[in-house]
Structure formats: C-alpha cells, structure tokens
Structure 1
C-alpha cells in the first residue's frame, strides 16, 4: 500500500489510527509534533542508522510555556511507547518556531477585540501544513491524523460520531491536499475507538480528550495574553457599557472577554447580561440582555474553499463555533473577491463572535469557510 505519515499525539484517537492504518496494509511513520521544551528529552530520536526519514528541525525559543494539552512530555512518552508497541518508526518534529506564529496570532486577536481559534489555525498552518512538508521529505503519499471527520469520494465530510465531529476545525486545509489526507477514526463512534484501544492493550484507552488551549498552561487566557504583551495590555482597561450607552462599571482589560460571555463579568446587573461586542478603539465592553446577542448574519473573509467557488450553492448550513451546530442559511460570495462571503441565517444566531471561523456545509460535506469579521 502507501507510506503514511501519522501525527501521533499520544492520545487514544491517533494511537488507534496507527493500528487501523497498519491493518489496511499501509507503511506508517509516526511523528510527534513537539511544541515545547518539556517534551524535548523524551522526543529525542536515537540513531537507528536509517537516514531516509529525517527529522525536521526548528529554532528553540528557550521557553517552557507551550507545554500542555496535546504536546506534553507524558503525551510524547505515550506516543513513543505506542509506536514501539506497533513496531513503527517514531520521530519528533521540532516545531517551536512554527508554533510561535500560533501564539502571536492568539495574543494579537485578543488584543484586537476578537476571539481567536488557535486549534483551527494549528490544523491549517502546522498539522496539515508543516506535516505535509515532512511527508514530502520522506516520500510519503499521505498524511493522517486522529481527527473525527471523514473523506467520502475525495470530499471532506463530518465524522460519523456527531458528538465528536471535528470537521469544523479542518476547513482551512488547502484544497489540493485533501486528496492526500487519511482520517482513519472518522468512520467510528468514539466508544468503539476506546474499545479497540482497550483490546490492543495500548494503555491509552481511558485517556481523557484534550480540551484546553495547549499553550495556556495555567490561569485564565487573559493572564497569558498580559504576560506575553505587558505593554499593549496596559492600554486595554475601560468601561462596561450597556447597549443603551450607560456606563455601569469598569474592567481591567477587554482581552478577558468574548462575545456571548455571561459568567465572570465581575459586575452585578440583577439579571443575566452578556458581552454583546468589544470595542478596542474605546476599550468598552458592551453588555446587554440575551436578545441583544442575536444576529441575522455575518461577513467572513480569508475564505478557504474546498470546492470551486463558482460551484458553491446558496442554500447551505453554517457553523460559527467549534461546539456548535451548522444552522440553515443563505450564502453569497463576493463576485470580485471569492475570499469574502456573506451569510444570512434563516433564524437569528446568537453570539456571532469576530475572530471565530464560519464553516460552510452542504449536508455533511464541508465546502470551506472563513473568519468572521
């Protein structure tokens, strides 16, 4: 069959993906994408005399704050142990320099009053970006991951397990690379994947799914932003203002808030109030009741289409957050700029947050998407 580069995170999904690929007759090369210092020692590759599978290098940043979630030392150890158990080569990619781009984007978006999605960007820039560079370097035909999404007749579709579907996070993959992707676990329920891991005695069957942002190792994300950009964050304190223009309190920095947020506002209004929008030019955080969150539509840019823009339907479904569901809508692509499109929902949608991805579906198929302005 084919040589396949598999991203191995040390979790149950990528571990079972390795088994499924081997079962299908593929030659599997396991790689762990090292983002931080903590995993450096366990990720070192011993000299096996095989020089046909080089390790991509990067510039060490001398920091230890990119070390959680899917890239800790314990995860690296799990990935290496599973690879050894399956007798597949295992290599580490030093991507600290590349990962700095993700961190800078995350910080800059919050300081611009937007809500970033670093996981989607990581898939776009690193997992299905740099990983393809590595695959090309070792003459691998395919790149595989443990994402819950499916490839149907060369098209990207939602995963079989609707409760674990990750197709939203994959919309930014280059169209010409979809044909070189393999998603082995996407056609299974998560419970079945855990059963397979247990039957293989891989030691990861009960491992929890990674949920948090991998580089925010402790505290609130705003603490990370302020530590990263202390001078810029000193200029973000301001007022809480109602949608009617009434000043009702102060805050220490708008980077701590996101559209739709209700909890931990630090202000008592006597009834539920939500963040309606963030105004970085005035440093105001505008709050209001739930009905003020409703939006009839959105504008998105930086579109990535997995089909020819001329073939896009107008009646679609659009998902605006990772844990959301696609909602019926009508879409129109800017005739002069296919990187920009407008969405009008059939029913008003709550908490349309600038900075988040708007992913377009037709049935279960991912057509592409863009970033909410």
Structure 2
C-alpha cells in the first residue's frame, strides 16, 4: 500500500481477516467500499455478518449474486474427481471469480484496487508488482493465489500479509469489529460439514461404483465403493490390513482401480505440470526454486524446467504424494523474501 488515497473495493466475508483488511485500509486513508459475494446457498448465512461488519466500519456494501459464475467452479470440482484427480476449487475460484469477476465489478465501480483478507503480500519493485509470502509463513496463503492473472497483481491490496492471525484478532478487538472471536474457516465454502464425498455422490451418484484395490503388482487387496473417496498419499481409511503402512500411490479412472503401495512407492523425484501461470516474464531457461505441491507444504528445493507446453520439475530429493490436479507453485528467494514466480497444474509424477 502507498500513502496515497485510493478507491478500493474490499471483498467482505464477515470474518476477521476481511474485516480487519477493510479497517486497515480505512485507517490508511483510502476510500473503501465492500462487496459480498453469493457463490452458493451454503455461503448465504454469512451475508448478515458481512452487512454487520460494513455497518460497524461505516462503508457501503454491495451484494453480488455470482452463483451462475461459480457454477463453472462446481463443474470443475466434479469433473476432476470423475477423472480420478484431486481438485483445488479455492485456487480456481481465486482466478476466475475473486480476482476475475470481482475485479471486473471493482473497475466498474470506479475502484483502482481490489483488496481481500488473504495472508500474502504484493510488493512492487521497479514498477512491477510481485506476489510474495506472508510475514507469517505458517499462515501464508500465496499458494492459493498463484494462478491469478499477472496483469491483476498491480491492482491488488493484501493488508493482512503484514500481520499474524493473532494480530488480526487484536486489531478487530481494538476497533470493536465484532469478528475477533470468529472461528478459523477450514472448509470449502460450498461443501456442507466438509463432507465432499457426500456432496459428490448427491450430484453424481454414478461415482458410487465398486472397484478393486490392488498393489503395484496387480494383486487384489480388497474393494472400494468409489474412487472419488481416495487421493494420492492417503493412508487412513483404506480398510486394507497389510502389516505395515500402505498408501494410495495411484488412481485409475478408466478401470476404477485404487492402487496401494508402501511409502517408498509414493515418493517421486519428478513431476510434470501443465497450464502454467507465470507471475514474472515467462522464463526461457531452467531455474532453481522451492516448489510447493500442496497448500500446507513448506516447499522442497527443485530445478524447474519450463518448456513450450509444460513445466518439468526435478526435486533435489524424493517428494511424497505428488497429486494430479493439485498445483506445483514455484518460489524463488529475494533476500529474506520468497516470491511466487509461477505455478502449474500437476499432471503426473514422472519417476
């Protein structure tokens, strides 16, 4: 953020992070208005909370019904599971809805910036905006923002990137926002009770289909009632007793088969990712980076090899549970900072 006054639209969810982000922008002197997104019926209960926050802050709140736009996120979510891939709907929503449709609204409303409560940082150097980790790495959300359009970065404000969650609650309490005691949201917004399998089966009952559980040699170990209930690296809930820990090492949508193996068979040195999104000028040669392969990952050192139609990643050491459908996110060091330079959707582990 700069010391200048700007017109800013803040995405208000009714929670502590977005409410504090809006308050910090107001304290900095910006002209702020809020927007609440209706993306699904399950999220509508938060509208009253967002309206209360806007009232306490003294800002105008627009309610946008984006359920039609969000339908593509649901289609993607269901489609990935049908292909035995593990989707990341929050990443897709950030790209297409929050920093897509919502940024379109902000521009039409005369705003120069769109702000959210994400824990990450936008830092501008030599006129170029970059995405960086939050000051509190264990709360960092830059992974989930890595697929947004590079051209939008210069118009994004992320006030929470300079604060910890504890500080956010303290600020909310100091300003009497009424959100300081709100519980941390751990669920995907459109899935009731975080039971994704039940929702999948409700909308696509054809996924409930018995198949075989086998080991990597093809020996049948048991049966399952739906491949959508498994993900690469899963250890619990396999209902197969092997005498030592076994993990899901593969899912075959074509044969409706779950493949299990010991830990060494879920470890891989390489992956291939596609549909890369670069937040810098697209690199023309290989580079070293820390690569995250899931949201809670801290990243592992690797060499990233960009090609014309894919990105090949080779880790310095074997990495566990490389999962098709998730993101590989590439971080480079800039002094004490870690910058997101790009990301790609994991297609497969490659040896």
Instruction: Report the TM range for the smaller structure's normalisation.
Output: over 0.9
In the alignment, structure 1 residue 266 sits paired with structure 2 residue 239: yes
Task: Measure the CA separation in 2 of the matches of 1:283 and 1:368.
Answer: 33
Q: Aligned partners of 2:302 and 2:63: how far apart in 1?
A: 43
Deviation at 1:137, TM superposition (A): 1.1
Residue of structure 1 equivalent to 2:64:
93
Distance 1:367 1:197, change over 3 A: same
Match of 2:339 among 343, 365, 371: 365
Counterpart among 173, 179, 192 of residue 167 in structure 2: 192
Aligned to 1:227: 202
Aligned mates of 1:17, 1:130 — CA distance in 2: 20
2:14 to 7, 10, 15: 10
- Secondary structure at the residue paired with 1:245? coil
Closer/same/farther in 2, CA of residues 312 and 193 from structure 1, 3 Å limit: farther
Measure, in 1, the Cα distance between the counterparts of 2:138 and 2:150. 26
Distance 1:317 1:186 in 2: 20
Q: Deviations over 1:175-196 (max 9, x none)?
A: 1110000001101111111110
The aligned counterpart of 2:260 is 287
Q: How far did 1:211 drift?
A: 0.6
3-state SS of paired residue (2:258):
strand
Q: Measure how far apart 1:219 and its partner are.
A: 6.5
The whole-number CA distance in structure 1 between the counterparts of 2:322 and 2:135 is: 27
Q: Distance in 2 between matches of 1:221 and 1:264?
A: 15
Give 1:220 shift.
3.2
State the Cα distance separating 1:312 from its structure 2 match: 6.5
TM-score with structure 2 setting the length: 0.93
Tell me the equivalent position of 1:352. Answer: 322
Structure 2: how far apart are the matches of 1:221 and 1:291?
29
Matches within 5 A, 1:247-258: 247-258=220-231
Point out 4+ residue stretches in structure 1 off by more than 6 angstroms: none
Q: How many residues in Structure 1 have an aligned counterpart in Structure 2?
A: 335
Q: What's the CA shift string for 1:231-277, capped at 9, x where partnerless?
A: 3x14x431000112210100011011000111111222232111001
3-state DSSP of counterpart to 2:19 = helix
Quick check: 1:33 aligned with 2:45?
no
| Secondary structure of 2:192's aligned partner | coil
Map 1:125-144; keep pairs closer than 5 Å.
Answer: 125-144=96-115
Partner of 1:332: 305
**Pairing 1:231-250 to 2, within 5 Å after superposition:** 231=206, 233-234=207-208, 236-250=209-223
Partners in 2 of 1:269 and 1:15 — Cα distance?
Answer: 50
Higher strand content, 1 or 2:
2
Check the 8 A contact 2:286/2:306 in 1, yes or no.
no
Scaled by the length of structure 1, the TM-score of the pair is 0.87
RMSD: 1.3
